[in-house]
């Protein structure tokens, strides 16, 4: 039965991708959505948020590559799922480049 469970490499890749995206989501500036207008940032993204996001993305990619290269078959499957989560995390990270910064609604 244990051959169907990932080893520590697979769990590390999956947890890094899940927790990295979740932690960064709570760390970034507040986003607002106005009806019929779109999404904007309430305040500019600080350099610490950019650096921490880049470090988290690097850790996620490194964990996925390690699980895919040196893990078992189940680890490779989990690494692919973690890679998809990392891709979504990178997409959200890069979307901060294009969101305008406006005054927060009152």
pLDDT tens-digit readout, 4-34: 888 889 999 999 999 998 999 888 878 887 7
Residues of the chain short of pLDDT 70, as ranges, are 1, 104-106
How many CA atoms lie less than 13 Å away from 60 in the CB half-sphere?
28
Name the residue ranges covered by the structural domains of the chain: 2-95
For 99, the token pair is 């969101």
How many CA atoms lie less than 13 Å away from 56 in the CB half-sphere?
26
Q: What's the burial of 32, exposed, middle or buried (CB within 10 Å: 0-12/13-18/19+)?
A: middle
- The structure tokens 């690097």 sit at 58
- The structure tokens 């986003």 sit at 31
For 5, the token pair is 């469970």
pTM: 0.86
Classify residue 39 as left (phi > 0), alpha (psi -120 to 50) or beta: beta
In this prediction, residue 69 carries a pLDDT of: 94
In this prediction, residue 85 carries a pLDDT of: 96
CA-wise closest residue to 16 among 74, 65, 70, 71: 65
């Amino acid at each position: 039965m244990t051959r169907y469970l990932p080893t520590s490499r697979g769990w590390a890749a999956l947890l890094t991708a899940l927790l990295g995206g979740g932690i960064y989501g709570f760390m970034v500036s507040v986003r607002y959505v106005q009806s019929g207008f779109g999404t904007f940032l309430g305040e500019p993204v600080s350099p610490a948020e950019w650096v921490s996001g880049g470090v988290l993305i690097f850790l996620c990619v490194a964990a996925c590559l390690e699980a895919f290269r040196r893990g078992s078959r189940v680890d490779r499957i989990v690494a692919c799922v973690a890679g998809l989560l990392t891709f979504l995390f990178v997409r959200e990270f890069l979307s901060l480049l294009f969101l305008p910064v406006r005054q927060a609604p009152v």
